């Protein structure tokens, strides 16, 4: 973390978990634990159908609500899809884009992710852009090249004045939901590489103010060490965000 130049952001990604009833239960547990989040921003990226409820419940708190996806077109005949404008209208602030699960199961490509990034920015939503390599790519020593490609294509056409709205999340695919976390050194290496790419594209001032999270089996035990890395500015948390005490402990680690 480096609080001088950029915000630390702890974001929970509930994925396809939590009915509205369950979400209310988790909120009741979380509420007394998260009121003290002073130094970091806390975001809950919840399923679309939980957004109105969570917006209501979190109204007077410092916790903001995010979504996990949006369509790449502004509106139209796309049955079953949700637009950026709909999210904005509900008071959503962040939207996760290009998560590896959507890349893998829904065929999302780098160019589609780029379209979504541009539309999110135009609509006033802050994209949390996920990048990260597979185990095979890591073993072949392709991690930095692959992540560089993902970062550059996500940013195609993004002007420097909009760059600060973007958050990156480095999520190695082999660490997601596996209990196998990247070491602090591995996370730091890739996060630093991402910042270097941004520096080359947009200059030093822009690069140092962008938040770059780590995600992949982050939990109460490993959060402190990961967040101690200079270029790890927060976390995107899956499984551990579904347990109030675990999520609160990660926030606590970011608050130190």
Q: How many residues bind ligand 13P (CB under 6 A)?
A: 14
Is 114 a residue that touches ligand 13P (CB under 6 A)? no
* Helix count and strand count (H, E) for the chain: 12, 8
List the Cα angle 31/36/39 in 5-degree steps: 130
User: Which residues, other chains included, contact 155 with Cβ-Cβ below 8 Å and sequence gap of 6+?
Assistant: 114, 117, 163, 166, 198, 201
Known active-site residue 99: yes
* Stretch 121-180 residues interacting with ligand 13P (CB under 6 A): 171, 176-177
Q: Tokens at residue 48, please?
A: 């679309």
Cβ at position 160, least distance to ligand 13P in Å: 27
Nearer to ligand 13P, 127 or 238 (CB): 238
Least distance (Å) between residue 242 CB and ligand 13P = 9
Count, residues in the chain: 256
How far apart are alpha carbons 226 and 222 in whole angstroms?
Answer: 6
Task: Give dist(CA 16, CA 10) in Å, integer.
Answer: 19
Binding mask 203-232 for ligand 13P (x = CB under 6 A): ------------xxxx--------------
Residue with smallest beta-carbon separation from ligand 13P: 238
171 is catalytic: yes
Residues interacting with ligand 13P, by CB under 6 A? Answer: 13, 99, 171, 176-177, 215-218, 236-240
Catalytic residue IDs: 99, 171
């Amino acid at each position: 973390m480096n609080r001088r130049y950029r915000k630390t952001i702890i974001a929970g990604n509930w994925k396809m978990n939590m009915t509205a009833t369950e979400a209310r239960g988790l909120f009741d547990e979380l509420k007394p634990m998260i009121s003290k989040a002073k130094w970091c921003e806390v975001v809950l990226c919840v399923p679309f159908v939980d957004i109105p409820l969570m917006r209501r419940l979190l109204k007077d708190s410092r916790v903001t609500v995010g979504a996990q996806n949006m369509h790449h077109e502004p509106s139209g005949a796309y049955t079953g899809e949700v637009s950026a404008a709909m999210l904005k209208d509900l008071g959503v602030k962040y939207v996760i884009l290009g998560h590896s699960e959507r890349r893998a199961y829904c065929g999302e490509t780098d160019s589609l992710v780029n379209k979504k990034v541009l539309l999110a920015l135009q609509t006033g939503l802050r994209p949390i852009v996920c990048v990260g390599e597979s185990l095979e790519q890591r073993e072949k020593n392709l991690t930095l090249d692959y992540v560089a490609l993902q970062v550059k294509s996500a940013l195609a056409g993004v002007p420097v004045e909009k760059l600060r709205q973007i958050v990156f999340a480095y999520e190695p695919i082999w660490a997601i939901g596996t209990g196998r976390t990247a070491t602090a050194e591995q996370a730091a290496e890739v996060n630093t590489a991402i910042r270097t790419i941004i520096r080359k594209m947009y200059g030093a001032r822009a690069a140092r103010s962008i938040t770059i999270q780590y995600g992949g089996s982050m939990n109460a035990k490993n959060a402190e060490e990961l967040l101690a890395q200079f270029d790890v500015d927060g976390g995107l948390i899956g499984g551990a965000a579904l347990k109030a005490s675990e999520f609160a402990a990660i926030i606590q680690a970011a608050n130190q």
